Structure 1
Amino acid sequence: MSAPPDPLTLEVVELIAAVVARYHDEYEDVAAEHSLTGAQARVLALLAREPSPMRGLAQQLKCEPSNITGIVDRLASRGLVERRPDPADRRVKLAAATDAGRETADRLRGSLGFAREPLAALSEAERRTLRDLLRRMLESPDDA
């Protein structure tokens, strides 16, 4: 049995959890202001970065491909997403944000005050340090 985490590690974990919870709460509220569910907003944000097959979206969001199909269908019915053939493999369909979808994703991201407000209190050097530390935390052992 391993030793329990030290108090500093526990405090850091609790603070990270609090940040994540606040971010998710605000993300849900901002999504609702754009008449989207949180899941729809997350899919739209991913597709605004780059087109993706449904299976890839499901893997990124850790859910069933059938859930993604329903979300993409609802986004497509609003003109925010379209399906197109994958240029590398015409048998595969990619979901992609439309111009309206990218604009909506940009407005959504711009509406998230929670992330900007606390970060604004940090200097540029502190934000770079925080970014670098978070990247290190997210690296897989194979990346190091």
Structure 2
Amino acid sequence: MSTPADAGTDQVVTELSGLVFEVTGRLRAQFNAAAAELDLPPAQALVLVNLSGPAPMRQLADRLSCEPSNVTGIVDGLERRGLVTRRPAPGDRRVKHVVLTETGEHRREQLRSSSHALAKTVFALPDSDQRHLRDLLARVLSGPPADGDTRSA
């Protein structure tokens, strides 16, 4: 049997979950708009912002939570645009690393700058509130995984 305190906590958790999803949706929509301004489909834009150095296709798939076969098509599109190249991995020529070209690095910085400017509108709070929210979200993410996932954040 649940107590009134449990019901109150459950309601707060429900509200928190809904708010986090809504904020995430706004951030995603703004990121997609920034990508569209640069003539990039959202999936290609995600690869660009997640590519900080040479990375195997498998690693990109893990970062994007998708199948490696999906990443192949995304990387093909980025390669056609001259934003990335594929290079053999130093230790295993069967593994291909995706590497940003100079044009790709420039486009990534444009995307990051534009999406950051848009994100500032979502988090238009006083500085102390921004820091407090950041700290609370960091605590949530550093807590024990809820689904048995043992990956580190």
Q: Is the TM-score greater than 0.5?
A: yes
8 Å contact 2:35–2:111 — kept in the other structure?
yes
Aligned pairs, how many?
141
Mapped to 1, the partners of 2:15 and 2:143 lie a distance apart of 23
Is residue 138 from structure 1 mapped to residue 135 from structure 2 by the alignment?
no
Give the structure with higher Rg (CA): 2
Matches within 5 A, 1:23-42: 23-42=27-46
What are the superposed Cα offsets for residues 97-126 of structure 1, whole Å, 9 maximum, x if unpaired? 112111111111211233112434231x43
Tell me the distance in 1 between the aligned counterparts of 2:135 and 2:92. 36
Percent of aligned pairs sharing the same letter: 45
Equivalences for residues 1-144 of structure 1 within 5 A: 6-47=10-51, 49-112=52-115, 113-123=117-127, 125-139=128-142, 141=144
Q: Secondary structure at the match of 1:95?
A: strand
User: Which letter maps to 2:29?
Assistant: D
Unaligned runs of 5+ in 1: none
TM-score by length of 2: 0.79
Distance 1:140 1:70, change over 3 A: farther
Give 5+ residue unaligned stretches, structure 2.
145-149
Runs of 4 or more above 4 Å deviation? 1-5
Distance 2:140 2:106 in 1: 31
Q: RMSD of aligned C-alpha atoms?
A: 2.3
